[in-house]
């Protein structure tokens, strides 16, 4: 009987194994994903900066040509021509006022590193030789006044064109007045 028990125990064990082996596994339930919501990024997080971002925006601006600086200064009234009476190189009161403004520009942040050529011009009356000398006197008078205002002589150059480069080409007093001038031209800079 001992043997029968062993067989019964063995049969019960097999039946138990068979029942558990055939049992279907319970399905695994996964929770649904959370709903998708759009949110703005946090405002306290700063974006990463690169070395290029650290450069001042004004330094990224391409450098201006001397002609562009000249045009902007003239358009803003910071730099302008000085006019003279017929056959004269003495400064009139309006010429002194204009030179005062020119000097302020030359001493300003935008003008302090620039050099200037002061061109002497004349109207068409008189000989070429006389007008070259008169144009030189006009540019020299303007430069002397600027030096008296504190502008360094090393930043100023003079040249005379006499009657060779007229601003106006008509032969009348209104036109001649425009030609009797000392013209300021930005000629160099850092």
Q: What is the tens place of the pLDDT at every residue in 144-171? A: 999 999 999 999 999 999 999 999 999 8
pLDDT at 64: 79
| R_g of the chain computed on alpha carbons | 45
Range with the largest mean pLDDT of 34-43, 63-72, 135-144: 135-144
How many of the other CB atoms lie within 10 Å of CB of 81?
19
List, in order of start, the domains of the chain with CATH numbers: 64-189 (3.30.1330.60)
Measured CA distances, 182 to 5, 114, 133 (Å): 133, 18, 13
d(CA 167, CA 161): 12
* pLDDT tens for each residue of 132-149: 999 999 999 999 999 999
Q: How many angstroms from the chain centroid is the CA of residue 51?
A: 19
pTM reported for the whole predicted model: 0.66
- Taking each helix axis from N to C terminus, what angle separates 93-107 and 128-148, rounded to the nearest 10 degrees? 60
């Amino acid at each position: 009987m001992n043997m029968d028990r062993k067989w019964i125990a063995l049969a019960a064990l097999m039946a138990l194994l068979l029942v558990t082996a055939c049992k279907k596994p319970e399905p695994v339930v996964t929770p649904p994903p959370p709903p998708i919501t759009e949110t703005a990024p946090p405002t306290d997080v700063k974006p990463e900066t690169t070395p290029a971002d650290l450069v001042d925006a004004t330094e990224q601006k391409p450098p201006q040509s001397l002609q562009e600086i000249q045009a902007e200064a003239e358009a803003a009234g910071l730099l302008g021509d000085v006019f003279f009476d017929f056959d004269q190189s003495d400064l009139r009161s309006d010429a002194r006022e204009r030179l005062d403004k020119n000097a302020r520009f030359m001493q300003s942040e935008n003008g302090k590193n620039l050099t200037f050529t002061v061109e002497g011009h004349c109207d068409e009356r008189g000989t070429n030789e006389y007008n070259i000398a008169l144009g030189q006197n006009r540019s020299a008078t303007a430069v002397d006044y600027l030096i008296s205002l504190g502008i360094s002589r090393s930043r100023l150059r003079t040249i005379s064109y006499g009657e060779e480069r007229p601003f106006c080409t008509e032969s009348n007093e209104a036109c001649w007045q425009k030609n009797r001038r000392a013209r300021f031209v930005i000629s160099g800079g850092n």
